């Protein structure tokens, strides 16, 4: 048996080797500014953020970037990760757990006395319902539960999760917000179903978009799209009363408006400031800047389809694009140097990827080599392609600026890019349905498990590129997931990434260093690289 002192080991995610904190990807839809709630009220925490990307707050269906901030405050999972050490799995709703490698079963003992916000007691039946519903509604997050064979109730305080494949990293997966536990009674009352036919029968999402059914420190009381999310204190929270009675996440798509609001104290935290706006706060006694490294990435994808683009169908042409980009200029000029750049799909800090690995293996600007590759591809004078992207912010820059920079860079060797900015909904539709020649995209994982990044890149994302990876590429990823020796696992992930680099369907552009502005009216803003971005229950007003 393996007890609850389990630590992840397929990457360098602990505080000893790489301290990761603070994660937020800010590529979301822009909209006009709405009236601001005041932060002067010590009973209300006000966060200014572009939340225009959010389509749902149902944990079993959510696949956007801003909703996990809310989900992390209103729901909890069986286990969690520390803000400053993503290598250590910690108890949350589970008090303890064991793993039987022979049966490939995790057994969790629930923390006694935990209640949902409505006062009902959490039981193993709620855990089973939540996980079965995640699997059976078959929305995008169900991919994260693909290794779950079944969930069994052992007794009211014990639940057993059987795996299809024994994987040391599977415990880490359970920390993601998609594995949130909610009240069976409340969700079923709104038409929710966890049955095998839940894909067609479940009707609870509309209610869950504006309400929560969890055990977290807050509960969701409303969501107005492109306006705000409102949370209220959970008076039955097992961790004790949180400092604020309410939290308002105010949709402010304009960074300048966020800057003004945080300076005036109209909001407590500004999430979407660009590099220039953040720099303007230097020396401001009323506002502090917190900066941390994310595990999120921006990348450009390029198709493998000769029908969509004959040139891009050739790997030499895709490599030529990669060799023509001024990566240093992009990072220094557009994000003020506040970014790293991973070599391939797995970010620095996971799967054994380090800054040294990135420098050794990652694409480099090399214009002579780009011209040679164009000749090898049969396009010595260059070629053209369309690039789609969301017309939204991204950390301290925007997709528009990144796209224009790449367009200018590759033009030096005769490659012509037709820029196609679009709203987030149309961009996502074209990207997800494989209708784009090339895409500027963001990527974040629900949990810091390298397998999540790797499997996505050769499965659902590969389909969007019309790329069919060799069987051995998928096999090495599966072997890495099951490998118990961290060094061997990291070597396998490295082998997989070399394949991706040679294939050149994915060009990694940024792994940003995230910076937020915090008004002096609040304290204990603890950011995290976990998908929920910050531990909202700890934030308190300064008296």
Percentage of the residues of the chain whose pLDDT score is greater than 70: 93
How many CB atoms lie under 10 A from the CB of residue 234? 24
Residue 504 lies in a domain: yes
Looking only at the bridges linking them, the beta strands covering 506-519 and 269-270 are antiparallel
| Per-residue pLDDT, 38 | 58
CB 509 within 8 A of CB 327: yes
- 158 and 185 belong to one structural domain: yes
Question: Residue 155 pLDDT > 50, yes or no?
Answer: yes
Which CATH number goes with the domain that contains 424?
A: 3.10.105.10
Percentage of the residues of the chain whose pLDDT score is greater than 90: 77
User: pLDDT digit string (tens) for 386-415?
Assistant: 999 998 878 788 899 999 999 999 999 999
User: pLDDT digit string (tens) for 458-512?
Assistant: 999 999 999 999 999 999 999 999 898 999 999 999 999 999 999 999 999 999 9
| Per-residue pLDDT, 396 | 80
Residue 275 lies in a domain: no
How many CB atoms lie under 10 A from the CB of residue 460? 12
| Per-residue pLDDT, 394 | 81
DSSP of 391-445: SSEETTEEHHHHHHHHHHHHHTTT-EEEEEEE-HHHHHHHHHTT--SEEEEEE--
| Per-residue pLDDT, 530 | 74
- 529 and 496 belong to one structural domain: no
CB 34 within 8 A of CB 51: no
- 530 and 507 belong to one structural domain: no
Residue 23 lies in a domain: no
Residue 222 lies in a domain: yes
- 193 and 304 belong to one structural domain: no
Q: Minimal CA–CA distance to 335: which of 387, 396, 278? A: 396
Mean of pLDDT values over 19-23: 35
Residue 8 lies in a domain: no
Mean of pLDDT values over 173-182: 96
- 491 and 530 belong to one structural domain: no
**Mean of per-residue pLDDT scores for the chain:** 91
Which CATH number goes with the domain that contains 527?
A: 3.40.190.10
- 537 and 494 belong to one structural domain: no
H or E element that contains 322: helix 315-323
User: pLDDT digit string (tens) for 257-308?
Assistant: 999 999 999 999 999 898 899 999 999 999 999 888 888 899 999 999 999 9
Model confidence at 7, pLDDT cuts 50, 70, 90, reads very low
Residue 256 lies in a domain: no
Residue 290 lies in a domain: no
Residue 508 lies in a domain: yes
Q: What is the DSSP letter of 121?
A: B
Please classify residue 283 by burial: count the beta carbons closer than 10 Å to its beta carbon, then call 0-12 exposed, 13-18 middle and 19+ buried: exposed
Give percent helix, percent strand, percent coil of the chain, each to the nearest 5: 30, 25, 45
- 62 and 119 belong to one structural domain: yes
Q: Minimal CA–CA distance to 28: which of 508, 427, 407? A: 427
- 419 and 471 belong to one structural domain: yes
- 197 and 325 belong to one structural domain: no
CB 161 within 8 A of CB 192: no
Task: Determine the Cα–Cα distance for residues 455 and 469; give it in Å rounded to an integer.
Answer: 11
Question: Residue 6 pLDDT > 50, yes or no?
Answer: no
Question: Residue 104 pLDDT > 90, yes or no?
Answer: yes
User: pLDDT digit string (tens) for 508-528?
Assistant: 999 998 889 999 999 999 888
The whole domain housing 346 covers: 297-513
Residue 194: HSE in the Cβ half-sphere, 13 Å Cα cutoff: 21
CA 285, 512, 530 angle in degrees (round to 5)? Answer: 90
User: pLDDT digit string (tens) for 48-99?
Assistant: 998 988 899 999 999 888 899 999 999 999 999 887 777 789 999 999 999 9
For residue 307, what are its two tokens? 């029908």
pTM of the predicted model as reported, rounded to 2 decimal places:
0.87
- 528 and 379 belong to one structural domain: no
Task: Determine the Cα–Cα distance for residues 78 and 357; give it in Å rounded to an integer.
Answer: 34
- 321 and 387 belong to one structural domain: yes
Task: Determine the Cα–Cα distance for residues 401 and 187; give it in Å rounded to an integer.
Answer: 43
Task: Determine the Cα–Cα distance for residues 142 and 280; give it in Å rounded to an integer.
Answer: 43
- 318 and 441 belong to one structural domain: yes
Domain count, the chain: 2
């Amino acid at each position: 048996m393996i007890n609850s002192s389990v630590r992840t080991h397929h990457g360098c995610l602990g505080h000893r080797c790489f301290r990761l904190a603070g994660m937020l990807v800010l590529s979301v839809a822009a909209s006009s500014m709405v009236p601001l709630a005041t932060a002067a009220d010590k009973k209300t925490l006000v966060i200014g953020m572009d939340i225009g990307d959010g389509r749902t707050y149902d944990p079993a269906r959510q696949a956007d970037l801003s909703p996990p901030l809310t989900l992390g405050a209103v729901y909890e999972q069986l286990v969690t990760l520390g803000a400053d050490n993503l290598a250590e799995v910690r108890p949350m709703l589970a008090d303890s757990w064991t793993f039987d490698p022979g049966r490939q079963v995790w057994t969790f003992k629930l923390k006694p006395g935990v209640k949902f916000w409505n006062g009902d007691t959490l039981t193993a039946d709620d855990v089973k319902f939540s996980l079965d519903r995640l699997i059976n509604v078959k929305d995008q997050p169900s991919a994260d539960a693909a290794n779950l064979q079944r969930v069994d109730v052992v007794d009211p305080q014990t639940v057993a999760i059987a795996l299809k494949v024994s994987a040391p990293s599977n415990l880490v997966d359970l920390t993601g917000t998609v594995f949130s536990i909610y009240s069976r009674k409340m969700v079923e009352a709104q038409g929710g179903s966890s049955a095998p036919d839940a894909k067609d029968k479940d009707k609870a999402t509309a209610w869950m978009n504006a309400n929560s059914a969890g055990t977290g420190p807050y509960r969701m009381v409303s969501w107005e799209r492109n306006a705000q999310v409102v949370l209220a204190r959970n008076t039955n929270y097992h961790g004790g009363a949180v400092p604020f009675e309410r939290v308002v996440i105010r949709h402010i798509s304009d960074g300048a408006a966020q800057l003004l609001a945080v300076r005036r104290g109209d909001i407590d935290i500004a999430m979407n400031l660009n590099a220039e706006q953040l720099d303007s706060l230097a020396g401001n006694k009323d506002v502090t800047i917190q900066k941390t490294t994310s595990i999120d990435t921006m990348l450009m994808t390029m198709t493998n389809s000769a029908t969509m683009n004959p040139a891009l169908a050739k790997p030499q042409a895709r490599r030529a694009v990669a060799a023509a980009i001024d990566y240093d200029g992009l990072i220094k000029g557009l994000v003020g140097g506040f970014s790293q750049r991973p070599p391939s799909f797995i970010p620095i800090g996971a799967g054994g990827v380090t800054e040294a690995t990135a420098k050794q293996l990652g694409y480099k600007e090399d214009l002579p080599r780009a011209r040679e590759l164009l000749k090898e591809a049969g396009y010595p004078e260059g070629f053209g392609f369309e690039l789609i992207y969301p017309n939204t912010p991204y950390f301290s820059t925007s997709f528009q600026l990144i796209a224009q920079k790449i367009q200018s860079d590759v033009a030096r060797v005769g490659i012509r890019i037709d820029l196609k900015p679009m709203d987030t909904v149309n961009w996502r539709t074209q990207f997800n349905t494989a209708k784009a020649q090339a895409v500027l995209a963001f990527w974040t994982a629900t949990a810091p498990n390298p397998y999540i990044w790797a499997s996505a890149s050769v499965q659902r994302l590969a389909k969007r590129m019309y790329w069919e990876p060799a069987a051995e590429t998928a096999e090495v990823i599966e072997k890495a997931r099951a490998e118990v020796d961290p060094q061997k696992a990291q070597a396998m992930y490295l082998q997989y990434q070399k394949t991706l680099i040679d294939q050149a369907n994915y060009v990694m552009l940024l792994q940003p260093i995230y910076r937020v502005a915090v008004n002096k009216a609040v304290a204990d803003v603890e950011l995290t690289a976990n998908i929920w971005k910050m531990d909202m229950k700890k934030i308190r007003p300064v008296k």
